[in-house]
Each structure stands twice: as C-alpha cells, then as structure tokens.
Structure 1
C-alpha cells in the first residue's frame, strides 16, 4: 500500500505525469532506506534532525503528502494523543499543556486539545472523536460529571489514559496532580500565623477532588488553630477573575467581615484584588488575599500575590512520561502521583492592618 493517496502539482520533473509518489521515490533520491524516510516524516527522534529536514524538504519538492491513516494501519499507532482540560484560558493549564506538548512532540506524538469547560457531554464528544481517529491515548482533567466507568471502558479496551489535576475515584488509570489539601492547609496556616482569625474561602467546585481537597485543607488549618470553620465565610463555585470581582460586595457586606481570603485559585484572587481597591479597600492591608497555582504574572501584581506553587510543569512532564510508557506497551499501575506544593509568601498577605511592615495609623 502506498503512503500517498496521489501526487500533487509540485511533482518532481523527472517523475512521469500522474504517477503516484511513494516513500521509495524519496528514499531513492536521498540514498537512504524507506524505513528512515517513514520515520523522518513522523518526526521520530530515532532519525537525526539533519536527515529529517532533508527528507521533509525533498517531500515538499516532489509534492509528497504523508498519509498518516495508511501508516497507522501498518503500525497500529496514529501518533495522536488527546488532551482535555476544563479551562485552557487559565495560565496554569496553558503551562501544563505547553510542557505536555513539548514532551510528547519530542517522541513524535501529535497533540489534539479540547477545552471541555466542565461540560461532560462536550468531553464525551471529544473522546468519541479521538476513538474514531484511533488515537494512541488520552490525557484528561476530568469534567464534572465524569464517571469512573467511562474511563475504565477505555482502559479495558487497552487505550492508554492518564488523569491530571483531578482525581476520579474508581478509575483504573494513573493520576498526576498537586497535593491540594496540603497546599491549602499551608497557605491558610500562613494567614493564621500572620494574626488573622476571620479567614474566608472563596471558590472551588466541590464536586471535584481539587475543590474538595483545597476546602478540606482550609478547614483543617482553621480547626488546628482552634477556629470553627462553620463561623467563617465559605463561598464555593468561583473559578474565574470575573467570579473574583463579583464576590467582593458579599465579602465586604458580611456581618463578620473577613480580614483575609484564601482564594481557590489565582484567577479568583487576581479578579478580587482590583475590585477591593475599587471598593475603597486596599488588598493586603485592608484585606489579605492569597491565591493558588502561582500563575505567570502573580508575583508582578500590586500587591504581589501570596499563592501556592503547584508546579504545572512537573505535572505536565510526569503525565507525558506516564502516557508514553503506556503507548509503548508498559503496564502502568493506576497510582496517584502527588506533586509537592510550595507556598510563595508575598505582599498580599500581611498581618491585619499592616502596610509595608508598619501597622496602619502607627
């Protein structure tokens, strides 16, 4: 079977008009094997970059178009990996995707991405499309509403799956995510050590492991300090900068106004800080604010944002490694891999009423 469905108008002048071009044509002209040409056109790291470039240049000259479908029939591999997350606009997921793409492309894999927006039907359509294209595997931050059986049906068919950022109880697939409970505990503990006793939590979808775990870490830190979480303001479901802006009036109108807010993620925090300023409350000294994820730019805001670094580059790199091992035929256990968080203490979380190291009015 030829890898090329037909020749293009850019065929080499030595080729008879209308003749189908093959891998062998390119191989003969370059004096290399057909297998090397095939690997080069798939960007295989087994072939030196200089050779890959020569093969691609010759393919362009003769109008050869690589037929991925035909190749997949021979190898049972399409070199396609699907990646689905709920918010590609969040810089945190953008960084995960960037790392995944770099790692997978180095091994000749092409990445298809889906922004499912926590719409499980949208996610299912994407997965069905991947199956129709006989993709090599799926890396998934599971939508709200995803059932473990859906993942297990894939893995039972031998389709490699790696879960990222969110757990899915009962799913027989490896998971890579941050230790969200520990990170939330540590950043809330920081606020308590700064002297705050009224610490709200803003955000997080509690139907997800991420939302539940960060809320659990906030609660554990309060309870450890002898503070009743039930006495604190706890506002779920906020996820975006717009959400952070919109919740400020509720925070300021609370009978027991919080002196600090632990936000579910940096997006909520970065939306909240200018809205506080517009309302006449200086973020930091007027109300301490912390985020989660340490996205690009968090340190450059005014005030710089105290947050939890959950290392999306490490999550992306490990997820790519687990996927490639599965695609290569290795039986990878359905283990949870937790990435250790780090608290980045900055200017947005001073003690109550303190600005630039001095208490207001002092």
Structure 2
C-alpha cells in the first residue's frame, strides 16, 4: 500500500494534518475543520468524503472521523408548550409521522411556559445526543437555551413562535395578517364594543395576533381599551378565567376575539353556563382551526392554520440541517384561511366547509 493511495503508517502518520486531508479531497482546511468538529454547514456528501479521506490517510483524528460517522442517534427532540392543548397535540403527531418516515424517533417534552423546565428539557436532550430539536416554546428571554444549543452544535428549528431578531430557521404563520383578517370579519358585522383574549404576550405568535386585532379595529376607528385586552394561559381554563374577568368588570362587549381556539372554547363554556348565546348575544371567534363544531348548534369562526403541514415542514428543514446543509436561515410562512362558522353571528347558511382562502405562503 503506497503513501498516496493507502493509510499512512508509523511516524509519517503523525505528520498527516488537516491540510493533507484538505488537499486529498480538494477542499479548504476550514471545511475539514468543520467536519472534524461536527459543525453544520457542510453537505452530507462532502462530509462523508472528508471523513473517508481522514481514515484512509491515517489523520491523527481518524478515530474522531469514525466516531462522527456513527454518532447520530436518529432521534430528534420536540419541545411543546402544553401537550394538552390540541394544537400542540396535532403538531406532535405531524412531527412524529414525518420523522418516522425518515427513520427518526422523537423525544417529546412540554414546558407549560416555564423557562426553568425549558432549560432542563433542552439540557437533557443535548445530554442524550439528539440530532436536532424543533422548538414551539421560545420567548425573547430564552437566549441561554439558544446559546446552549449552539455550543453543543445541535441544530434547531423554531415552529410557530420565534425569538425576534434571532438568526435561525422558523416555520409558522403570518399571525399579524391572520389576526387582521378575523377582526375585519367581526367588524363587518357592525360590532363596536370589542374585547381581545390572547395567550402570553411573551409568545411572538400571541403578541402578533393581539397587535393585528388592535390595528384592524383602530383602522375602523375603534379603540379597544386596555382592560378589554386580556393575556391569559393558552388553554380552556385560560379562556374561562378571562371571560369571568370581563363579566366582573361589567356588561360583556359585543364581541370576544380570541387568539386561540382553546381559549375560545373556555369562553364559550362560561357563556353557556351564564345563558349567553354565542353568535346571537355575543360574538366569539377563535384562532387555529381545531374545533369544527363546538356543539350541534354552533360552529366556531376561526383562522385555520395547516398544522400538519407546519409540522412536516419544520421536520424537513431540521433534517436538512442535521445532514449538514448550510446556507442562510429559512423563514417559511404557511398559508391560512378564515373558516366562517356561527359563533361570530353568521347564519348557518353562510358556513362554507372548505373555508375561504385568504393567504398564500411567503418565503
């Protein structure tokens, strides 16, 4: 076996450097460094060529090369806000289905909006060697979590929520535009007294929805007072608490515009107990497209977002990063449409099962 065509031996092996590997493959030393340190930014084909060359030449890090070729766990992490919320349940199912099609399993956890739980979950996933993580839970103050992921060279994709100004992949909805769409529909009914109920404002999605609601109302000359702009937990219980707060404040407004279907269902439960008819006495709208029918007599008006498509797209993007594809962060905006039901005050005859398409993907 010659020195140029086979593995080097003896003292010459100690002299095989990253530069030797780079020349052998025809790439830069930086590319070899990226591969040998397990960093993203190199295609899977090029990564395999570099690792094979390192082993062939007897590079002093050839044991590292062998390790890198076999170290993938074929497991990704998925961190949800609250798996009891049907939105996140469906996201989980979509990610798991897409991952299994490509030979991955999924380590699922939820945080219930706790930053401490998020930090512990991400640390555990890193320690267990996940190949990448899909995150639906990020808040602006979660920078330490991002730093931990980048230090460990674990790729990640933000789904639905994102940290503003973070240079990272994201898949989600144009929440601001969607919020304007549903508020415009509510205002077209002639309602003047409006309340909005959204999730935590530290969530980029909830914050954008509230801003869209307020902007659409203001464009029609309607100001929503602060006491009627409520932020609550993203659950049915959060919706119940919010409407109880409004009831304690005085007569209900004409319309309750909610930032999630889970919140809207909690609102509708309290109204039903109080003998208030949604759609007749008070308009109620949701956001997410989770509940086709609230009861036999009412269908919720809501923004429908393609949850399975969002889940699959986020996994596909993560899988590319795991395989070493570099390039600029991808911002993928999925389509949405307004599904008109009866809780907004529209009659049964106006309900269109297929919905009205109102937005297209933006990249």
TM-score band (shorter)? 0.7 to 0.9
How far apart, in 1, do the equivalents of 2:343 and 2:262 lie? Answer: 14
Q: 1:216 and 2:211 equivalent?
A: yes
In structure 2, relative to structure 1, the CA distance for the partners of 1:166 and 1:278 (3 Å cut) is: same
1:76 matched to 2:83: no
State the distance in 2 between where 1:179 and 1:288 align: 24
Does structure 2 retain, via aligned residues, the 8 Å contact 1:148–1:171? no
By how many angstroms is 1:316 displaced?
0.3
- 2:180 aligned with 1:179: no
1:123 is displaced (CA, Å) by 1.4
- Measure how far apart 1:259 and its partner are: 0.8
- Aligned equivalents of 1:196, 1:77: Cα separation in 2: 56
Aligned length: 285
Indicate the SS of the match to 1:83. strand
Deviations 1:183-202 (A, max 9, x none): 11111110000111111101
Contact 1:186 / 1:343 at 8 angstroms: preserved in 2? yes
**1:144-192 CA distance string (max 9 Å, x none):** 4642353144235432111111011243320111111111111111000
State the alpha-carbon separation in 1 of the partners of residues 110 and 67 from structure 2: 26
Aligned match of 1:227:
222
Q: Which residue of 1 aligns with 2:96?
A: 101
Tell me, yes or no, if the aligned pair for 2:122 and 2:145 is still in contact at 8 Å. no
Question: 1:124 and 2:131 equivalent?
Answer: no
Q: Does the CA-based 8 Å contact 1:72-1:78 persist in structure 2?
A: no
Corresponding residue number in structure 2 for 1:65: none
Structure 1-normalised TM-score?
Answer: 0.73
When the two structures are superposed, what TM-score results if normalisation uses the length of structure 2?
0.73
The answer (yes or no) to whether the contact 1:198–1:258 under 8 Å persists in 2 is yes
Name structure 1 gaps, 5 residues minimum.
Answer: 1-70, 358-362
Question: How many angstroms apart in 2 are the aligned matches of 1:181 and 1:306?
Answer: 17
Which residues in structure 2 correspond to 1:11-50 (within 5 Å)?
none
Q: Does 1:340 align with 2:351?
A: no
Separation of aligned partners in 1, 2:331 and 2:162 = 8
Report the Cα offset of residue 257 of structure 1: 3.0
Q: 8 Å contact 1:202–1:238 — kept in the other structure?
A: no
* Whole-angstrom CA distance in 2 between matches of 1:344 and 1:148: 36
Q: 1:248, 1:272 within 8 Å by CA — same for their partners in 2? A: yes
Output the CA distance in 2 between the equivalents of 1:264 and 1:324. 31
Q: Which residue of 2 aligns with 1:272?
A: 267
Q: Deviations over 1:283-316 (max 9, x none)?
A: 1101110001011444656311000112111110
| CA shift in 2, pair 1:315/1:300, >3 Å | farther
Task: Give the distance between the partners of 1:262 and 1:127, measured in 2 at CA.
Answer: 34
CA shift in 2, pair 1:100/1:355, >3 Å = closer
Alpha carbons 1:293, 1:308 under 8 Å: kept: yes
Structure 2 gap segments, 5+ residues each? 1-65, 351-363
Partner SS for 2:120 = helix
For 2:154 and 2:103, the matched residues in 1 are separated by 18
Determine the C-alpha separation between the residues in 2 that align with 1:121 and 1:338. Answer: 29
Give the aligned partner of residue 59 of structure 2: none
Residue 74 of structure 1: CA displacement? 4.8
Mean CA deviation greater in 89-98 or 165-174 = 165-174
Cα distance in structure 2, aligned partners of 1:260 and 1:151: 39
Q: 1:294 to 1:139 in 2, by over 3 A?
A: same
Aligned pairs (5 A) from 1:195-214: 195-214=190-209
Q: Which residue of 1 aligns with 2:284?
A: 289
Query: What do the CA deviations read for 1:223-282 (whole angstroms, capped 9, x no partner)?
Result: 111112337711112421122223333333444631110012111111111211211211
Residue of structure 2 equivalent to 1:323: 318
